[in-house]
Amino acid sequence: MKAVVFDTSALLALLFDEPGAETVEALMHRASEKEQPMLMSAVNWAETCYRVEQKRGPEALARAKEFATTATIMVVPADRELAELAASYRAADTLALADAFAAALAKNRKAELVTADREFKSVEGEIKVIWLAR
């Protein structure tokens, strides 16, 4: 059973009803039906939380937290192994730090990475990327 890793841009697309939201919703539905894990790194979850609060306020953040819990998105801690793999992606100067954690988690778990962020083109050979419309 292949896991799905959500980058910040993917979850924000859904929460803000942006282009790609329908795809994220469909992927979440598919993952739920097939009992596939839905994952997000703690670093990406932090980025999602601060962006929701900045753009929509504390009430929207509370709703986003409730949604993530209800949708059973597992927030994966940034342990040493994940941090070192993310550091290697960041050192290659192709990904921002939060993006590097999403890529590291996807690679580590042999998962599909869902994103709207074109920076991930640099790791497409190593990681299966599901691209969202922008």
Set out the domains of the chain in order of their start, with CATH numbers. Answer: 4-131 (3.40.50.1010)
Q: How far apart are CA 99 and CA 112, in angstroms?
A: 14
Q: pTM, whole model, 2 decimals?
A: 0.94
**Residue 134 pLDDT > 80, yes or no?**
no
DSSP H stretches of helix in the chain = 8-15, 21-33, 42-56, 58-70, 80-91, 97-109
| Percent over 90 (pLDDT), the chain | 90
Res 1: pLDDT = 61
